Amino acid sequence: MVISPRVKGFICITAHPDGCRENVRRQIEYVEKNGKMENSPKNVLIIGASTGYGLASRIALAFGGGANTLGIMFEKSATATRTATPGYYNTEAFEAFAKEKGLYAETINGDAFSVECKEKTIQKIREDLGKVDMVIYSLAAPRRTTPDGQTYTSVLKPVGEAFTNLSWNAKDNSLTTVTLEPANEEEIAATVKVMGGEDWMDWIEALHTADVLSEDAVTVAYSYIGPELTYPIYKDGTIGRAKKNLKECSDRMNEKYQGQGIRSYVSVNKAVVTQASAAIPVVPLYFMILYKVMKEKHLHEGCIEQMDRLFRRKLSGSQVEQDNGGFIRMDDWELREDVQAAVMDAWNRITTTELSEIADVDGYWEDFYHMFGFHFDNVDYDRDVPLV
């Protein structure tokens, strides 16, 4: 079939294999242009490896540091009438490029929250790698089923009181005012269960018990805090509660494994367009304005630029750059005083007619479509693509 983008709300329900391959190729090209990384880990497990920051981490460490990578994903292959998910195509492309370079690159497709997936991963590490010296936790799942059979679903809501602010309507490129009602205690607890650090700790405990973590192993999970503008949704909302738990779990692991060589970190990353962030009211409009400001100041980074900088400069061997709260701050340029001042000035002036002048609408859509393998100028989108 000829594959075209089919957008429903904040998601695209089709993906293009050639475009996803091109997306991966460009990220590899960026990393390789920056040369070889120093002090890079050699065997890396990436939990949530098929899109966004997880995929970019895998690319940066493999093609920048020469790492062997084992990825965990939860993706769907194509059928006779439906394309595969973008993460499936991304992973196919990554593995092909890696093997061309002589790099080990294998992927397990399964539910990372499950005991079965953890056991399968441990067996794969034993057979192929022996041990891993870095574990990246980059899951962004909407729900989690725990080993006792209970399923929890996360929500993106404020806590305590309703939040009203401007938002962007993707259907007609207009501005609207939205009000988000606060989460109840059950929703807060469920979000922490899904997006907090409990499963991350379960992974490290399982890997440690199985003796497949090397001496001085490092594990890092990804988070976001954002500016005061989005605090009611992120920092002070349900997702903020989950990310607070993530940091608490990191601290608990550092205490638990002190003297055993395992170090745990949380990296607070910059705002980028992902399948998860595109679904949150208010946030895409902030991203558009931020993109314009940061591009004008030559500070803009996407996922691959962030992860390349993380592993080259902030988390390199025993050299780890952290703030007073113990976070690695990859959002340092986003939250620069001059950047946020310009963002808030634009936010206070914006109207629908001024949207394209004040916000980088085209840049947002380009990143959105690129996630699904579309809008690359060197891909033949008229080609009849075999699905299976």
Report, as residue numbers or ranges, the catalytic residues. Answer: 234
Amino acid at position 79, single letter: T
137 is in an annotated binding site: no
- In sequence order, what E strands does 196-295 have? 213-223, 263-268
Please tell me the distance from the alpha carbon of residue 299 to that of residue 333, in angstroms, as a whole number: 7
50 is in an annotated binding site: yes
224 is in an annotated binding site: yes
75 is in an annotated binding site: yes
335 is in an annotated binding site: no
246 is in an annotated binding site: no
Residues counted in the chain: 388
44 is in an annotated binding site: no
Please tell me the distance from the alpha carbon of residue 180 to that of residue 262, in angstroms, as a whole number: 40
- In sequence order, what E strands does 190-312 have? 213-223, 263-268
Which tokens in the block code for residue 109?
């497709």
7 is in an annotated binding site: no
Amino acid at position 114, single letter: S
Please tell me the distance from the alpha carbon of residue 290 to that of residue 307, in angstroms, as a whole number: 19
Three-state SS for 81?
Answer: coil
51 is in an annotated binding site: yes
228 is in an annotated binding site: no
Residue 44 sits at φ, ψ, to 5 deg, of -125, 135
For residue 320, the cross-strand partners are 315
Angle between helices 198-209 and 238-256 (to 10 degrees): 30
96 is in an annotated binding site: no
Question: Which residues are part of a known binding site?
Answer: 48-53, 74-75, 111-112, 139-140, 224, 243, 272-274
Annotated binding site for substrate: 224
- Point out the annotated binding site for NAD(+): 48-53, 74-75, 111-112, 139-140, 243, 272-274
